[in-house]
Structure 1
Amino acid sequence: MRALPLLTAGLVLLVAQPAQASRPVQASPPGPLRWGACPAAQKDLVAAGAECGDLTVPLDWSVPDGRTIRIAVSRIKAKDRAHRRGILLSNPGGPGGSGLANTLGLRPALRDVADHYDLIGFDPRFIGGSTPLGCGPAPAPAPPRERTSPRRDFEDGVARNRATAARCFAHGDNAVLLPHASTRNVARDMDAIRAALGERKLSYYGVSYGADLGAVYTQLFPDRVDRMVVDSSTDPDTTQYELFRRAGKPLESGLDEWAAWTARHAGTYRLGRTAPEVRATVQRLLDRAERRPVPVAGTRLGAPLIRLFLRQFVQQQEDDAALARTVRTLVDAADGRKVRPNPELTGMLAFLNSPEIAASFTGGAVFMCGDGGWPAGGWPGETETYWRNIQHSRAAQPVFGPLVNDMMAPCPFWKTAPREPGTRIANSVPVLMLQAMRDGNVPYDGALALHRKLKGSRLVSADIRSHGVYGRGAQGRTSVPCADRAVNGYLRGGPLPAQDLTCPKGTR
C-alpha cells in the first residue's frame, strides 16, 4: 500500500456473514468524456499521443444528483483494433498516487498485450487533476535540534500531525470534500469511467494500495470485471495501522538479509564482517541519532528519518548496495567526519525538501484517514497507544518497530468520521494475484488471507525480497519471468493458471 506514504507518514478468513451490500449507484448517464490534448506537464502522455479529458461524477455517490467533482482521465487507443479486448485501467498505489500516466507506464512490461487494449489512466478523486485537494501552506519547520530523545521526537510528531489535521479541514472547502475520500468511492469513479466509455466490463492492474482498490472493485461491481490483476495486496481483515505494525517483522528479516550481504562485502563498506556485526553498526547509529541527530548536507537527521530511509532501501533486494552506501555515509557523519552524501541519500534529502512531499503526504492522508476500515482506517484515538506500541516493539524489532508503530499520520485527529465502513471481501470473481514472499511492506500472509476471500483467484508467488512482482525487469530490477508470462497471458485472453504457482527463485 503503500509506497508513497512511507516517506511521508512519520502508503482473511472466509467470512460466515454475508458481505456488505454494494452501492453501485451512478448518475444516469455519468456524463460524456470529451477528449482533448493532455496537459503539457504530462510529457509521457503527450509524447505517446494520448488524449485526456475530465469525467463529471457525484461527490457523494448516495446523492447522484448532488454536487459533482471532476475525474481526470487519459486514453491511448488500442493499436490492434481487429483484436481489441477492451479497456485496461490501473492504479500505482500509495494511497494517493497520481495515475493519469500509470497505465501508459505499463507498456514495456505488457509488450504486445498493450496493443489490444485502450490504455486508460486516471487520477483518483482529490489527487492530481481530479478536483485536487490541498491542505494549505504548512508553517516553516523548526530547525532540527542538536539534542533530542525518542519521547521528544514522538511528541514533535504528534504535534505536527495534530496541526496538519486542523489545517486540512480549515483550508478551502475541504471540510465538505474530505468525508467523501474513500476507496469505495474511487472504485465507483472507476466504474463511472467504464460506463462513460461505453464498455460493458473493464480490465485492471493495481499494485500495493492499487491491488486493494482492485479487490474492492470486485466486491462492489463483480459483474463488470473482465481481467483483474492485483499485485502486492493486504489482509482484508486488518486496518491500515495494523498493516503498518505487521510490516515490522518482515522488515527486520529483510535487514538480516541485507546485513548478511553487506558482511560479504566488508572490504567495500566496512560495516562489519558478520551479519550480527553489521546489525550492531546500524543499531549504534540509531542509538546515537536518538540522542544527537546526524549532521548531513546542512541538516540533521534524527532516528525517525534514518529508520524511514532504511525502510525505503531494504524493501528491494537490488538496493542492498545503495543501503550499504547510505549507512556508511551516515556512520561517518555521526563520527564527525566530513562526508559527501552518496547519490541515493542525496535523492532522499532532495525529496524531503521538494514540493512533491506535501502533495504525497496529503494524498496518502486523504485516503488513509478517510476510509472506515480496510484497506485503510483503524487509527487508535489515544496517542499514548502509539507510544506504548513503540516501546513494546523495541525488544523484537529494534530497527523498524519504533517506525511502523508510530505511523499515525494525522488520522487520530481527523475532524470527520468515515461515511462508510471498510469493505468486506467475499466473492468468486476471477482474479490473478501476485505476491513477493519476502515483501517487507505488505507481508505475504496478508495476500494469502485475501486469496482465501477471493475464492475465484489464483496466486502467483515469487521468492524475492520486493514490493511489487510484475514488470520488475522493465523497472531495471531482476525480472520474474514466470509472473510476467502469467499476467500477459491472462490479459491477452488466456485462462487463469489451473492452480497457484510459485516462481523459481531468481538469481542476484
Structure 2
Amino acid sequence: MHLPRRAVVVVLAAVLAVIATITVSTTVASADAPALTWGPCPDGPGAVGMECATLDVPVDPADPDGRTITLALGRLPATGTAEGSVLVNFGGPGAPGIPMLRDQAAESFAALRARMDVVTWDTRGYGGLFGGRSTGLDCDFRSLARPTPPFPADQAAFDAITEANRAVAQACRDTDPVLFDHMDSASHAHDMEAIRRALGQERLTFYGASYGGMFAQAYARLFPDRVRAMVLDGTANHSTADWDAEVDEQARDGEEVFDRFVAWCAAEPACALHGTDVRARWLAVVAAADREPLPVPGTDIRYTGRDLQGLLRFTFLAGPPEWPAMAAAVVTAEGGDGSGFVPERGNPYPVVSTVGLTECQEIPGYDDHRDMVGTVERVRAVGPALGVSMPIVAHVLTCAGWPAPLANPPAPLPDGLPPLLGLGTWTDFPGTERAVRQVPGSVAVRHDGPGHVLYRTGNACAIEVADRYLTDLELPEPGTTC
C-alpha cells in the first residue's frame, strides 16, 4: 500500500536543542499566549474536583489570524504543590477528555496529582458525536460510521465504494469545510501546542492512550524542541517512511497473538481443537467462508472469512477466558454453522467504531482496485490468520473517495527528541515499541497479558513507571515488564 496520489501536506519542524536532564518543567510567562480562567465545569466537578476552562484556537493552524474554534479544557488540580502540568488524551480519536478523566480515569492519576496538575481537553470537531464540549461538526455522524464494505471484486465495484464514501462524507464536510479538513492528528497537535502555551509550560509533558499516541507522534514531528516527556500507551506506529513495511509488521503482530491461542489450545485439554492442527483448521474455515459466506441458522447473518478473523481478533483483547468458546465456534463452523461467532451483545459483525474524520486524513488508503488487491494478497501471505481484518487493510476502504486531503501522512520521528516511554499489552506492545524505539534512550514496557492500554485502566506497575518518568524523567531499565 503506498501513499495515494492526493495532495499531501508534510510539515516537519526543525530540531532544536534537547533538554533531557531537567526535572518537572516550571511555569513560565508567555506574552502572546492567552491566559486560562479555571472555574466550574458545566457538568460539575465530579468526586475529584474537576475544574474547566475554554481556549480559542485557529480552526486552520496555517491561518493563525483567521477564524477560531473553542476547545473545552478540564483540570484536576495538584493535591500537593504543583510543579507543572501533564496533558492527557484518551484516544478515540474523538474521546471527550473531560468526562473520561473526571468519571472514569481519575483514580489512575491520583498519585501523579501529588506533584502535577492533570489537564485534558475535548478534541476539536467531535462534540456532536461523543458529547464533548469543544466546537464540533454539525452533521450526522451515524452516516459516517458505516460497516466495512466487502473487498470489491473489480475496479467498477471499487469506484462504487469510492462514490458512496464521498457522497456521505461530503454531506458532513459541507457543514464546515475548514474544520472538516483540519481533523488530522497534526491539527490536534497544534491544539496541544496552544494548550501548552496557555498553561505557561516551557515544554510539553504528555500522556496519550490508544489514538492519543498518534497525536503524540504528530506533535513530536511538528514541535520536537517543545517535548519534555511523552508516554505512548497502546498506540499504533505512524512514524515510518515505509508504510507497506509497517502494514506487514502489524500483520505479523497478529500472527504472534494467534500463536498464543494455538499454544493455549495445545496445552488445554478442554479446548475443542486440542490435539489437532489448530492453525490449519482455522485457515480452512476462513477460506471456506471467503468462498461462500458462513450462515447463522435462523438469521440473515452471513460471515465472510474476514468477518471471522475480525471476531477472533476481538477475543484477544479479553484473552484466554474467551478462547474456549471461540475454539468451539471453529468446530461448529466446520459443520456450516456460524452461530458460535455471534457476539452476545451488540452488532453481530466486527465493528471499527470510527467515523474516519481523523483517520482518513492520515492513514494511507488505496489508489485503485489493483493497489488494494496487491496489499490484500501481500498481507494474506505475511499474516494469514488475522491479517486482512486489520483496520488499516479492511476499514481503510471507507476512506476511499474521502473529500479531504491526506494531510498528515506517516513520517519518521525527527532526531533530537528526548527519550520517550511506551506501554503495551500483548496486542499493543509491538506497534508502540516500533514508534518509541526511533528515539535513542527510549524504553517500552510490556505487559504480558491481554487488554488495551495500561495506565488509564489501572495497571499499578505501569502507573508507577510512568509517574516516575513524567515527574522526574526517570525511565525504567530496558526490558522492564509489568
TM-score range, shorter chain: 0.7 to 0.9
Q: Give the 3-state SS of the residue equivalent to 1:381 in structure 2.
A: coil
Corresponding position of 2:309: 307
Matched, 1:488 2:467: yes
Query: Distance between the aligned counterparts of 2:379 and 2:155, measured in 1?
Result: 15
Q: Give the 3-state SS of the residue equivalent to 1:215 in structure 2.
A: helix
Corresponding position of 2:52: 52
Query: Distance between the aligned counterparts of 2:150 and 2:464, measured in 1?
Result: 50
1:60 deviation in Å?
0.9
Corresponding position of 1:120: 119
Closer, same or farther in 2 for the Cα pair 1:141/1:193, shift >3 Å? closer
Contact 1:181–1:366 (8 Å) recurs in 2? yes
Return 394-403 or 30-39, whichever deviates more. Answer: 30-39
Corresponding position of 1:415: 403
Query: Distance between the aligned counterparts of 1:425 and 1:140, measured in 2?
Result: 31
Give the % identical residues: 24
1:54 deviation in Å?
3.1
Matched, 1:349 2:347: yes
Q: Which AA in structure 2 matches 1:414? A: W
Corresponding position of 1:71: 71
Query: Distance between the aligned counterparts of 2:295 and 2:322, measured in 1?
Result: 19
Corresponding position of 2:208: 206
CA displacement, residues 291-326 of structure 1 (integer Å, 9 cap, x when unaligned): 123327845142232222222222x4x512214424
Corresponding position of 2:107: 108
Q: Give the 3-state SS of the residue equivalent to 2:70 in structure 1.
A: strand
Query: Distance between the aligned counterparts of 2:411 and 2:151, measured in 1?
Result: 36
Corresponding position of 1:325: 325
Closer, same or farther in 2 for the Cα pair 1:295/1:324, shift >3 Å? same
Tell me the matched-pair count. 447
Out of 363, 384, 397, the residue aligned to residue 377 of structure 1 is: 363
Query: Distance between the aligned counterparts of 1:480 and 1:168, measured in 2?
Result: 42
Closer, same or farther in 2 for the Cα pair 1:235/1:75, shift >3 Å? closer
Closer, same or farther in 2 for the Cα pair 1:229/1:384, shift >3 Å? same
Closer, same or farther in 2 for the Cα pair 1:225/1:323, shift >3 Å? same
Within a 5 Å distance, the mapping from 1:132-143 to structure 2 comes to 132-133=136-137, 136=140
Matched, 1:430 2:423: no
Query: Distance between the aligned counterparts of 1:120 and 1:217, measured in 2?
Result: 17
1:425 deviation in Å?
2.1
Query: Distance between the aligned counterparts of 1:470 and 1:218, measured in 2?
Result: 22
Q: Give the 3-state SS of the residue equivalent to 2:189 in structure 1.
A: helix
Q: Which AA in structure 1 matches 2:442? A: R
CA displacement, residues 55-92 of structure 1 (integer Å, 9 cap, x when unaligned): 21111112112111122221221121xx2122221222
Corresponding position of 1:387: 373
1:391 deviation in Å?
2.8
Q: TM-score, normalised by structure 2?
A: 0.77
Q: Which AA in structure 1 matches 2:166? A: A
Closer, same or farther in 2 for the Cα pair 1:326/1:210, shift >3 Å? same
Corresponding position of 2:8: none
1:396 deviation in Å?
4.2
Matched, 1:261 2:249: no
Contact 2:238–2:411 (8 Å) recurs in 1? no
CA displacement, residues 310-357 of structure 1 (integer Å, 9 cap, x when unaligned): 22222x4x5122144245346536746696878xx224537979xxx7
Closer, same or farther in 2 for the Cα pair 1:394/1:350, shift >3 Å? closer
Corresponding position of 1:10: none
Q: Which AA in structure 1 matches 2:211? A: Y
Within a 5 Å distance, the mapping from 1:174-323 to structure 2 comes to 174-233=176-235, 234=237, 236-238=239-241, 243-267=246-270, 269-270=271-272, 272-274=273-275, 277-290=277-290, 291-295=292-296, 298-303=299-304, 304-314=306-316, 316=317, 319-323=319-323
Query: Distance between the aligned counterparts of 1:221 and 1:502, measured in 2?
Result: 29
Corresponding position of 1:93: 91
Q: TM-score, normalised by structure 1?
A: 0.74
Q: Give the 3-state SS of the residue equivalent to 2:180 in structure 1.
A: helix
Out of 328, 337, 361, the residue aligned to residue 354 of structure 2 is: 361
Closer, same or farther in 2 for the Cα pair 1:298/1:31, shift >3 Å? farther
Contact 2:165–2:399 (8 Å) recurs in 1? no
Corresponding position of 1:15: none
CA displacement, residues 259-283 of structure 1 (integer Å, 9 cap, x when unaligned): 220233342x41x123x53223322
Query: Distance between the aligned counterparts of 1:296 and 1:484, measured in 2?
Result: 47
Corresponding position of 2:442: 458
Contact 2:289–2:303 (8 Å) recurs in 1? yes
Corresponding position of 1:7: none
Contact 1:239–1:377 (8 Å) recurs in 2? no
1:258 deviation in Å?
0.9
Matched, 1:502 2:474: no
Query: Distance between the aligned counterparts of 2:141 and 2:243, measured in 1?
Result: 26
Contact 1:27–1:65 (8 Å) recurs in 2? no
Q: Which AA in structure 2 matches 1:108? A: E
Q: Which AA in structure 2 matches 1:85? A: E
Q: Give the 3-state SS of the residue equivalent to 2:86 in structure 1.
A: strand
Closer, same or farther in 2 for the Cα pair 1:495/1:361, shift >3 Å? closer
Contact 1:230–1:431 (8 Å) recurs in 2? no
What stretches of structure 2 of length at least 5 have no aligned partner? 1-10, 16-29
Return 241-250 or 51-60, whichever deviates more. Answer: 241-250
Q: Which AA in structure 2 matches 1:36? A: P
Q: Which AA in structure 2 matches 1:262? A: C
Out of 29, 39, 43, the residue aligned to residue 39 of structure 1 is: 43
Q: Give the 3-state SS of the residue equivalent to 1:346 in structure 2.
A: coil
Query: Distance between the aligned counterparts of 2:78 and 2:72, measured in 1?
Result: 20
Query: Distance between the aligned counterparts of 1:337 and 1:330, measured in 2?
Result: 9
Give RMSD over aligned pairs. 4.1
Query: Distance between the aligned counterparts of 2:478 and 2:410, measured in 1?
Result: 30
Q: Which AA in structure 2 matches 1:413? A: G
Q: Which AA in structure 1 matches 2:286? A: L
Q: Which AA in structure 1 matches 2:282? A: V
Contact 1:252–1:399 (8 Å) recurs in 2? yes
Q: Which AA in structure 2 matches 1:461? A: V
Query: Distance between the aligned counterparts of 2:74 and 2:371, measured in 1?
Result: 43
Query: Distance between the aligned counterparts of 2:203 and 2:423, measured in 1?
Result: 25
